[in-house]
Chain A
Amino acid sequence: MSNNASSFIAKSTIKSADLEHRRKINFNIGKYNATVPLGKQQFTDVMTARERAKNAKWRAIEHLDSYLEEFEKQITSRGAKVLWAETADDALNEIAKICDEKNCRTVVKSKSMVTEEIHLNDFLEKKGIESVETDLGEYIQQLDDEPPYHIVTPAMHKSKEDVAKLFADKLNVPGGLSPEELTLVARQKLREKYIQAEIGVTGANFIIADIGAVAVTENEGNARLSCAWPKTHIVIVGIEKMIPGMQDLALFWPLLSTYGTGQKVTVYNTIIAGPRQPGETDGPEEMYVILLDNGRTNLLSNPKTREALYCIRCGACLNACPVYKNIGGHSYETTYSGPIGSVITPHLKNIGEYKHLSYASSLCGNCTEVCAVKINLHELLLDNRHEAVLQGYSSLSERLAWKAWKTASLNRGMMNLGNGNMKNWVVNKVFKAWTQHHGALDFSKKTFNEMWKEKHATK
């Protein structure tokens, strides 16, 4: 078992038994479950909407190379600089160069999973640059020195009381503040940072090929400030965020909001097509777009896993996943958790180190059922398992066990061997884990097969 797998088992064991965690998550996801059906009402036919979105993403990913070039051509013509980063280190080096050039001391950033993926905050901190999260949920997580718990709702595992206590501990404000008061505290602290920051960093929800722009979706206005106020704006985005054209936003914006939070449409939706143009009164002087691969082309090169690149990171599959709800976002120890995380992480990183995530599923299929763009998530988990076996990552004992299973399953006689008592003894011993919290299995003295034969022989 890999170290990651052992650590996953340890962490998930603790969380599964943590009833307070269970209560908070069920409460917060319960609120989500109550609003999503309301958001869905805006679609005359939500199934068709999802189908269309899947088709659009299919097109974008099948022609990713030409769409990326089109994007680059368009946005460069308006003065933005496009940088291609094959790895996390490449991206970080580019950012370091820009920071050095601008003598940057403070960065404000909006919520972005890609910056989590490349560990941007740690990197900047080591360079002596303060990197401030401006999304309230991310700000809370940064104060608590924790990675986001959820790709859409970073502090989902914290109650409002938890947040009030955290603010009192870290920001020297009175304890027991209400959510409104807490928001005002954060707002005040963050406004100062916007003024200080030389650079604003954002992610992007979509890359738009035809007009050469990125689209950013948010509820707090912090991403707008992050990209428009500082003199320099850096966008870091995974190449799979591509959509063919601006017209597609009419579908993707409401779809993302509905599946992400149950809203009809998110409060702020911004299209950014370059730095400040001549004659414009606001916007940054310079804009950089870093297009990140970091393993995404591994998913692209395999026709089966390619579908995973359609993901718009709405988080619906996490909220629908009973495993996620029981073990929480941190047990995965990956940037992307939940079903989509278990599907992509082995390919983004390393199959041997992360294949356990593909097995840590009861295959209930609820992720596939809810996915905004209809990715066959649970089947992709099965494909990952197969891939792991093909690449030789199974243990010898597993291989022997399945060989033996096959021999027995091809030979009916073998399945009738041994009486019930013996089977009881063997199985309850071998599957010790089973009997820990289950009553022992009770094998029948005879199999149905034997009983049927006896019954019908005498007829």
Chain B
Amino acid sequence: MNVSIFIPCFIDQLYPAVAFDMVKVLEKAGCNVSYNTNQTCCGQPAFNAGFQGEAKDVCTKFLKDFGDAEYVVAPSASCVGFVRNYYGQLFDNSSVHNEVKSLGERTFEFSDFMVNVLQVDNVGARLNGKATYHDSCAALRECKLKKEPRQLLSNVQGLELVEMNDVETCCGFGGTFAVKFEPISIAMADQKINNAVSTDAQYLISTDMSCLMHLGGYIKNKGANLRVMHLAEVLANGWE
């Protein structure tokens, strides 16, 4: 299967290892992975700030960069949700309407692609300890993913999965929200971390690095004994 990967800007800049882990897992699952080195961003940041004009130009570039791909897979439900649910609005009644629709249908979040397209839920990963999974809002509500990441995690050897309270509540990141309304964002992170810590888990795992960047940053500051891990990192662990 030919997979063109999309690496969101913040993973590209801050967490390249996560992207390489996803590549490693996809290849193990039999995919032929390619990466268009021209790619930049899906356009969501400007769109969410209300700057739809600026966003649209960048979305147009994304359409061009991925127009020919058989499948587009990204380690981020947030970007995938945006491409699937908002590109249609942006390009409504335009000449690229059909292209946009088809791209949305071929674009997948990593765990969704593994479980529902490849139908692979065990890649032989191993991680010893207790983990709790955080439903990112984008995975849960934009991409409707609840069981997929859990299914993948339940097959990781040595890993015990425990659910935290209020698992579907937002962690408080929300892009520029975390900077513009920092005190609210932090209060939300605080409750999320309290819930995660009460499970006694060592790992806090999610599909979205954006949540984890926020939560990991807060953990560092608060000094909780919890390590954040992207799902791809977990699945790439314990085998070569």
User: What is the interface of chain A, defined by CB distance below 8 A to chain B?
Assistant: 9, 12-13, 16-17, 22, 322-323, 326-327, 359-366, 368-369, 382, 384-389, 394, 398-399, 402-403, 405-406, 408-412, 415, 423, 431, 433-434, 436-439, 441-444, 446-449, 451-453
Q: Are B179 and A433 touching (Cβ within 8 A)?
A: yes
What are 19 contact pairs spanning A and B, CB under 8 A? A9-B183, A22-B187, A326-B188, A359-B180, A362-B137, A362-B173, A362-B188, A363-B175, A382-B47, A384-B50, A394-B50, A409-B9, A415-B13, A423-B13, A439-B219, A444-B16, A447-B13, A448-B20, A452-B35
| B186 CB–A CB distance under 8 Å | yes
Q: Which residues of B contact A439 (CB under 8 A)?
A: 216-217, 219-221
Bound-complex Cα distance A246 to B177 (A): 43
Given the known interface contacts A365-B141, A410-B40, A412-B40, the answer about A386 and B52 at a Cβ–Cβ threshold of 8 Å is yes
Interface centre among A360, A438, A453 (most CB of B within 10 A): A438
A402–B17 Cα gap in the complex (Å)?
Answer: 28
List, in ascending order, chain B residues with CB within 8 A of A449's CB: 7, 12, 37, 39
Point out the residues of chain A lying under 8 angstroms from B168, CB to CB: 366
* Contact yes or no, B12 A326, CB < 8 A: no
Q: Does B231 contact A (CB under 8 A)?
A: no
How far does the alpha carbon of A394 sit from the alpha carbon of B20 in the complex, in Å? 38
Known contacts A399-B51, A444-B15; 15 additional CB pairs below 8 A are: A16-B187, A17-B187, A326-B187, A365-B141, A385-B48, A389-B51, A410-B58, A433-B179, A437-B218, A441-B217, A444-B14, A444-B17, A448-B7, A448-B16, A449-B12
Main secondary structure of the interface of B (DSSP, over half): helix
CA distance A22 to B195 in the complex (A): 14
With A322-B188, A362-B173 as contacts: A444 and B13 at CB distance below 8 Å: yes
A363 x B50 contact (CB < 8 A): no
- Distance in Å from the Cβ of A370 to the closest Cβ of chain B? 11
Cβ of B115 under 8 Å from chain A: no
Question: Count the A-B residue pairs with Cβ separation under 8 angstroms: how many?
Answer: 173
Known: A403-B54, A434-B178, A451-B16. A12 touches B9 (CB 8 A): no
A409: contacting residue among B16, B43, B170, CB under 8 A: B43
Question: In the complex, what distance in Å separates the CA atom of A282 from the CA atom of B190?
Answer: 56
Of residues 6 through 24 on chain B, the ones whose CB sits less than 8 Å from some CB of chain A are 7, 9, 11-17, 19-20
Contact with A along B114-130 (1 / 0, CB 8 A): 00000000000000000
**Number of B positions contacting A (CB below 8 A):** 63
Inter-subunit contact B61/A409 (CB<8 Å)? yes
Q: Is the CB of B217 within 8 A of A434?
A: yes
Interchain CB contact (< 8 A) of A360 among B40, B46, B181: B181
A382, closest chain B residue (CB) = B48
B61 contact set on A, CB distance < 8 A: 409-410
B101 proximal to A (CB < 8 A): no
Asked if B38 contacts A412 (CB within 8 A), the reply is yes
State whether A437 and B221 are in contact (beta carbons under 8 Å apart), knowing that A366-B141, A409-B40, A449-B12 are contacts in the complex.
yes
Question: How far apart are B37's CB and chain A's nearest CB, in angstroms?
Answer: 6
- Chain A neighbourhood of B39, CB < 8 A: 412, 449
B13–A322 CB distance below 8 A = no
Interface of A is mostly: helix
A90 → chain B, closest Cβ, in Å?
Answer: 33
Cα A394 to Cα B39 in complex, Å, equals: 28
Chain B residues with Cβ below 8 Å from A13 are 183
**What residues on A are CB-neighbors of B57 within 8 Å?**
406, 410
Residue from A327, A364, A441, A444 whose CB has the most chain B CB atoms within 10 Å: A364
Within 8 Å CB of B7, what residues of A? 448-449
When distances are taken between beta carbons in the complex, the residues of chain A under 8 Å from B43 are 409
Q: Which residues from A are CB-within-8-Å of B19?
A: 448
Alpha-carbon distance A399/B11, docked complex (angstroms): 25
Which among B38, B46, B58, B182 has the highest number of chain A CB atoms within 10 Å?
A: B182
Q: A359-B180, A363-B177, A366-B141 are in contact. Are A409 and B41 (CB under 8 A)?
A: yes
Across-interface contacts of B11 in A (CB, < 8 A): 448
Contacts of B199 in A (CB 8 A): none
Known: A322-B170, A389-B51, A452-B37. A369 touches B141 (CB 8 A): yes
Query: Is B155 interfacial (CB-CB < 8 Å)?
Result: no
Q: Which of B154-171 contact A (CB under 8 A)?
A: 168-170
B217 closest partner in A (C-beta): A438
B197 within 8 A of A: no
Residues of chain A contacted by B96 (CB below 8 angstroms): none
Asked if B181 contacts A453 (CB within 8 A), the reply is no
Question: Is B137 in contact with A363, judged by CB distance below 8 angstroms?
Answer: yes
Cβ of B214 within 8 Å of any chain A Cβ, yes or no, is yes
Among A398, A406, A446, residue most surrounded by chain B Cβ atoms (within 10 Å) = A406
Known contacts A12-B181, A22-B187: does B174 contact A362 (CB below 8 Å)? yes
Which B residues from 185 to 208 make CB contacts under 8 A with A? 185-189, 191
Q: Say yes or no for B213: interface residue by CB 8 A criterion.
A: yes
Point out the residues of chain A lying under 8 angstroms from B40, CB to CB: 408-412, 415
Name the distance in Å between A157's Cβ and chain B's nearest Cβ. 16
CB of B149 closer than 8 Å to a CB of A: no
B48 and A363 contacting across the interface, CB-CB below 8 Å? yes
Please indicate the chain B residues that have their CB under 8 angstroms from the CB of A415 in the complex.
9, 12-13, 40
Asked whether A406 lies within 8 Å of B54 as measured between CB atoms, the reply is yes
| A-B complex: 6 closest residue pairs judged by Cβ atoms | A362-B174, A439-B220, A438-B217, A385-B50, A364-B170, A448-B16
